[in-house]
Amino acid sequence: MNEKYARITKDGLWDNNVVFAQMLALCPTLAVTSSATNGLGMGLASTAVLLLSNIIISSVRQFISAEVRIPVYIVLIATLVTLVDMSLNAWVHELYKVLGLFIALIVVNCAILGRAEAFASKNSVFDAALDGLMMGIGFTLSLVVIGGVREILGSGTLFANAHLLLGSSFAFLETTIVPDYKGFLLMILPPGGFMVVGMLLAAKRVLDQRRAAREVVAVPEAVAS
């Protein structure tokens, strides 16, 4: 049982990471990761929706027939995103002013439909919730890393304006990595997003290959002993 949960966790965070393995949700990814703070905001909002949509879809999965499942998922996800949007706007208006732009983008985040189809529709509510949470955290980490790399290269800062998203108690996160940096515009613009995603993807593949090579060496020894 624990192995299964470890598997779900590892899948979400690394092996089957939304951005770097499934290559889903690239549109919001490239659009918002001009800074680490933006990446974090988009990641957190998506995680919340992913968790809720996985729970809801998994709990009604017996009633949904295969023929009409996609429209049902889309309606459920769109409703959920609209509900989150409205409640944030009404009750946490300060946060909404920062995140508002990202929330509408979540509807077109195919990672959420992807998890509904690939996982939540076939697994128990608890497993689906864990999967949604882990996929969401994996997505958030990817966005923060991409945003961080682009922000350092593009404007020489890290987590600039974090206080707008997280409140003034998180202002310590805002650091200037390179003082008097003149800025490297390409990294902030969309092409920089493609480049950084490409480089990070290559780096992840290299790491995975090395790990696989080590495991191949390790396995025969285990058999021999």
Partner 1 sequence: MKLEELRGKLVYQGILLGGVALLTSAALSFASRATEADIKAAEAADLKQSLTQVLPGEYDNDLLKDTVTLHEPGGDVLAYRARRAGKVEAVVYRVTGYGYAGAIMCVMGVSREGKILGVRVISHKETPGLGDKIETAKSNWVHAFEGKWLGEPTADKWAVKKDGGIFDQFAGATITPRGVVKAVRGGLELFDKERATLLDETGAKP
Number of residues that bind partner 1 (CB under 8 A): 33
Pick from 76, 99, 162, 197 the residue near partner 1 by CB under 8 A. 76
Q: Which is nearer to partner 1, 185 or 207 (CB)?
A: 185
CA–CA distances in Å: residue 28 to residues 37, 94, 102, 149, 223? 14, 22, 8, 17, 46
Pick from 3, 91, 215, 223 the residue near partner 1 by CB under 8 A. 91
Q: Does 79 bind partner 1 (CB under 8 A)?
A: yes
What letters, b where the CB count within 10 A reaches 16 and e where it falls short, cover 131-152? bbbbbbbbbbbbbbbbbbbbbb
Q: Which is nearer to partner 1, 49 or 134 (CB)?
A: 49
Q: CB 2 → partner 1: shortest distance, Å?
A: 32
Part of the chain binding partner 1 (CB under 8 A), chosen from 1-9, 13-21, 57-65, 193-201: 57-65
- H helices within 11-161, ranges in order? 26-32, 36-59, 69-91, 93-106, 110-115, 125-155
Distance CA 19, CA 153 (A): 21
Part of the chain binding partner 1 (CB under 8 A), chosen from 6-14, 59-67, 104-112, 125-133: 59-67
In sequence order, the β-bridge partners of residue 158 are 175
Pick from 4, 27, 87, 176 the residue near partner 1 by CB under 8 A. 87
Q: CB 94 → partner 1: shortest distance, Å?
A: 9
Q: Which residue has the tokens 């940096």?
A: 181
Q: Does 106 bind partner 1 (CB under 8 A)?
A: no
Q: Does 165 bind partner 1 (CB under 8 A)?
A: no
Sign of CA dihedral 19, 104, 169, 51: negative
Contacts (Cβ under 8 Å, ≥6 apart) of 28: 42, 46, 102, 105, 106, 108, 109
Q: Does 83 bind partner 1 (CB under 8 A)?
A: yes
Q: Does 180 bind partner 1 (CB under 8 A)?
A: no
Q: Does 176 bind partner 1 (CB under 8 A)?
A: no
Q: Which residue in 201, 156, 152 sits closest to 26, CA to CA?
A: 201
Q: Which is nearer to partner 1, 66 or 224 (CB)?
A: 66
Part of the chain binding partner 1 (CB under 8 A), chosen from 91-99, 115-123, 133-141, 196-204: 91-99
Q: Does 178 bind partner 1 (CB under 8 A)?
A: no
